[in-house]
């Protein structure tokens, strides 16, 4: 399980965005004062916008003892690795490699005597941060470790707290540098980001078919319940459109489950 608190950004983009005004006035010179004359208070409004998000990802995977399992949800992003041109700058040829970006989990479990499970775990969370004139910028968070945990025990693999703060200024050329009244022609944006990344894992030993069937049924029913809830909520633009829902499972119980239930009735 990965728990990541998104960035909290404070930007002046509501209630009189001064950065937008500065961009509009940047094309004027002597007539800039005349544009805002008579409405000075519009330039000195207090602006503030708070936003926060919380992203929770819960990947799960099943594998055999001493067998590596790999799980990936994301996309392949093309990255330019080289470029050549022919004579007279004709027939350009580019070479591209693809990089996997998203949530990746690789685990190799080893069941020890008793209820202990030793796991070799590799976890990665990556995304595209932006693009420059030369290449694509990726953000990556990786974790690789070996842990020992009991069956059903929840343990923390690691955590990272990242705090960032920045300030940017947008202003009208020349007018924004005038003492005292220069603040009327510029805006300042403060950006604060705080990210908390915590990685947890809970190993579960499936010793027989009954345990495996129970886990599968719970996962299936959870997904079906989520689909039913979203179908009942409907779509904002198409409220009467039915959404797909997994069918209810009416399969017969496995033999070991029936034997367990029958043994309970005869007691």
* pLDDT, tens digit, 9 for 90 and up, residues 218-247: 888 888 888 888 888 877 777 777 778 888
Mean pLDDT of 208-215: 79
Handedness of CA 115, 116, 121, 123 (dihedral sign): positive
Q: Which comes out higher in pLDDT, residue 243 or 36?
A: 243
Give the pair of three-digit tokens for residue 7: 């960035």
CA 60, 205, 148: angle at the middle one, nearest 5?
A: 85
Q: Cα dist. 76→73, 100, 128, 201, 254 in Å?
A: 10, 5, 11, 26, 40
Residue 104 near residue 141, CB atoms below 8 Å: no
| Cα separation, 221 vs 212, whole angstroms | 14
Mean pLDDT of 28-39: 39
Q: Which comes out higher in pLDDT, residue 210 or 149?
A: 149
What pLDDT, on a 0 to 100 scale, did the predictor assign at position 68?
93
Q: Is the pLDDT of residue 3 over 70?
A: no
What pLDDT, on a 0 to 100 scale, did the predictor assign at position 212?
80
Residue 165 near residue 188, CB atoms below 8 Å: no
> What is the band of 171 on the pLDDT scale with cuts at 50, 70, 90?
confident
First to last CA, the chain: 41
Q: Cα dist. 208→36, 62, 212, 214, 215 in Å?
A: 76, 13, 7, 10, 11
């Amino acid at each position: 399980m990965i728990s990541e608190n998104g960035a909290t950004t404070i930007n002046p983009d509501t209630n009189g965005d001064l950065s937008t005004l500065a961009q509009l006035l940047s094309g004027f010179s002597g007539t800039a004062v005349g544009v805002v004359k008579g409405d000075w208070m519009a330039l000195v409004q207090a602006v503030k916008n708070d936003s926060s998000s919380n992203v929770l990802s819960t990947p799960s995977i099943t594998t055999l003892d001493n067998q590596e399992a790999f799980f990936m949800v994301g996309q392949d992003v093309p990255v330019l690795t080289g470029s050549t041109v022919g004579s007279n700058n004709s027939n350009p040829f580019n070479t591209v490699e693809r990089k996997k970006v998203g949530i990746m989990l690789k685990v190799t479990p080893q069941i020890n005597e008793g209820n202990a499970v030793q796991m070799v775990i590799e976890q990665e969370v990556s995304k595209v941060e932006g693009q420059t004139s030369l290449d694509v910028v990726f953000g990556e968070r990786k974790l690789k470790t070996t842990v020992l945990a009991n069956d059903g025990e929840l343990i923390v693999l690691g955590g990272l707290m990242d705090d960032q703060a920045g300030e940017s200024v947008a202003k009208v050329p020349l007018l924004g540098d005038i003492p005292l009244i220069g603040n009327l022609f510029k805006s300042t944006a403060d950006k604060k980001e705080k990210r908390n990344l915590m990685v947890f894992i809970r190993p579960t030993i499936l010793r027989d078919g009954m345990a495996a069937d129970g886990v599968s049924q719970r996962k299936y029913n959870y997904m079906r319940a989520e689909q039913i809830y979203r179908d009942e909520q409907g779509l904002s633009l198409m409220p009467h459109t039915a959404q797909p829902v997994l069918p209810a499972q009416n399969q017969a119980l496995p033999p070991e489950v029936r034997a367990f239930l029958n043994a309970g009735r005869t007691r």
